[in-house]
Copies of this chain bind each other. A is one copy, B any other.
């Protein structure tokens, strides 16, 4: 058994437009936008949406979005989503990047939330 939950929504914007996108979303949602201290491609939108980390990510691609699944077992969660029809398209550090039916992207990554949030909200999968 392992557990997972949707942890974050990423608004992926073409790199030349990412700062402008972050400024828009910050004003549109009435929340601060702050560059992530660890990863400069991310601009965090604090408390933008209930219960979900929200950020703009600068990408070398067309505008898109993706959801991050955090899990206590990246291999098992990736296998679960592959069995549901996803295909793995990349790895980035400990994260697996999957393209899911319908064409959207999902990342599977180790638990990022505080343990009490993950324990309370994660689903358990057989």
Contacts and interface: CB of A to CB of B under 8 A. Distances in A.
Interface residues of A, number: 41
Nearest to A24: B101
Contacts of A63: 64, 102-104
A56 B102 contact: yes
Chain A contact surface mostly? mixed
Given A6-B48, A20-B85, A28-B69, 20 more contacts: A6-B29, A11-B102, A11-B104, A13-B103, A17-B103, A21-B101, A21-B102, A21-B103, A21-B104, A23-B101, A24-B85, A25-B100, A28-B100, A51-B51, A62-B103, A63-B102, A63-B104, A64-B65, A65-B65, A65-B104
